[in-house]
Amino acid sequence: MYIRNNKGITLISLIITLVIILILVSVGTYNTLDSYKNAKKDEFIYKMQLIQAKVDSNDYDKDMLPEDTIDSSSNEYIVIKNVISEEKLEGINVNEWKYFSNEMLQSVFGLENLEDDIAINFSTREIISIQGIEYNEKIYHTQYQLPGGQQLKYKNVNNKTLSFNIETKIDGLNANITISNIKLGAEEIKVCKIKYKLLNNTINLENINEDEKLQTCNNDNADTWHEIDGKSFSIVQTGKYVILVEYDNKNCLKQEEIVLTNTPKLKNIMSKCDKDGTAIVEWDSSYKYTLNSNDAFSNAPLVNKGTQIYMWVPRFAYKIETDKDDNEIYSIKYLKGNSNIPTDNTIIDNKWNIPEQFSIIKNEEEIKYTGIWINITEYTEILNLQNVIELMKNEHADIIRVK
């Protein structure tokens, strides 16, 4: 019997075909997923480098930078601390990092469509994404270690910013100034040169760069530079001081106005109190007089005497001038002890007045006082220089004099 040879698809061929199709589909799917992951990774790197460029070039609104440190109990703080440790970043102090929501990134840096919340250390220029990105089963919070990312090139040490803090403690006619937290970028500086100088009161160092500040101070002949041993020094003269820190051919200069006054003394069952008349306070950290007539006595020490509140007014001289619009301009100088010598060691002429309340005639002899306590219990107005003078002149004023 003759059987015809039929040519068709065998079962084996069909299986092989299906296997090939499955392989092609899986390869295509893998490539698609891999391309998607790479695209997300590249987008993350691009966004982080956009911010990096803004930080490196100082092209942002510095007035809108957040002032508060990051809450140590927050998720942002924990993320930053972990990333610093894992990626060995330079910005080891979490308090040096500033947190930015995506809305803040737009307002401060002018960058739109950035969904991440960011932390930035402006000293080291490092940038962290709080959310991060997953790549190859690992979460990355910076772009520095991602494939295609760019390592942060730290600027030469000479391009980092030198900085320091000032702490001033005033004790009557003496003041102690301490310099601390001296840093070059994020690096703490142990040994450096520290100098100070008393400036002419007319000099204003605001809104000029560091080089111009230093040149202005060098050109001022009111005083010479005084180099100090250690990191603290004392002064005994009211005035505008400038402190200069020098390290590795860099300098940082800060201005500090010191106003010295006679120390308050308690009399007649008086006790220290806060401005609401209740809490005990330390005077050396609570009062700081100024030479501005609008707030000269805004931080003056207060005491309780029974139910009454008294304010300490140290011995001072004042003058009244008029401007071109005939407005009265009040000026003040505080005096040393019970003398007529100002704490800034200048000379007062007949344009200056010393309130008669700082002296009395007793047995035909003039007795001078270092200051007075004046009752302000019922006084509700702002205690600027003009108001204090008017209050002292009130014939019914309750005043306690102190030698």
pLDDT digit string (tens) for the chain, length 403 residues:
444 555 556 777 777 777 777 777 666 555 555 666 788 888 888 888 888 888 888 878 878 888 777 888 888 888 888 888 887 787 777 878 889 888 888 888 888 877 788 888 887 888 889 888 888 888 889 988 888 888 776 544 455 788 899 999 888 899 999 999 998 887 888 889 999 999 988 887 777 777 788 888 999 888 999 999 999 999 999 999 999 999 888 888 999 999 999 999 988 888 888 766 566 666 766 788 999 998 898 888 888 888 888 999 999 999 999 888 888 899 999 999 999 999 999 989 999 999 999 998 888 888 999 999 999 888 877 778 999 999 998 888 899 999 8
Nearest partner of 170 among 281, 254, 68, 282, judged by Cα: 282
Encoded tokens for 162:
């030198």
Specify the pLDDT at position 371.
94
Q: How many residues does the chain have?
A: 403
CA dihedral angle for residue 386, residue 387, residue 392, residue 396, rounded to 10 degrees: 140
Using DSSP's 3-state secondary structure scheme, residue 111 falls into: coil
- Domain 159-255 indexed as CATH 2.40.160: no
Q: How far apart are CA 232 and CA 256, in angstroms?
A: 14
Q: How far apart are CA 375 and CA 77, in angstroms?
A: 49
Nearest partner of 50 among 102, 109, 122, 9, judged by Cα: 109
CATH 2.60.40 residue ranges of the chain are: 159-255
**Structural element, H or E, at residue 76:** helix 75-87
Q: How far apart are CA 50 and CA 330, in angstroms?
A: 53
Tell me the C-alpha to C-alpha distance, in Å, between residue 192 and each of 42, 160, 174, 249.
Answer: 44, 15, 25, 11
Measured CA angle at 153 (ends 151, 155), to 5 deg: 165
Specify the pLDDT at position 173.
93
Contact 300, 287 (CB under 8 A): yes
CA atoms within 13 A on the CB side of 181: 8
Encoded tokens for 320:
């009244």
Phi, psi of 120 (to 5 degrees): -130, 135
- How many CB atoms within 10 Å of residue 101? 15
Contact 158, 146 (CB under 8 A): no
Nearest partner of 119 among 107, 104, 133, judged by Cα: 104
Contact 241, 277 (CB under 8 A): no
Contact 250, 324 (CB under 8 A): no
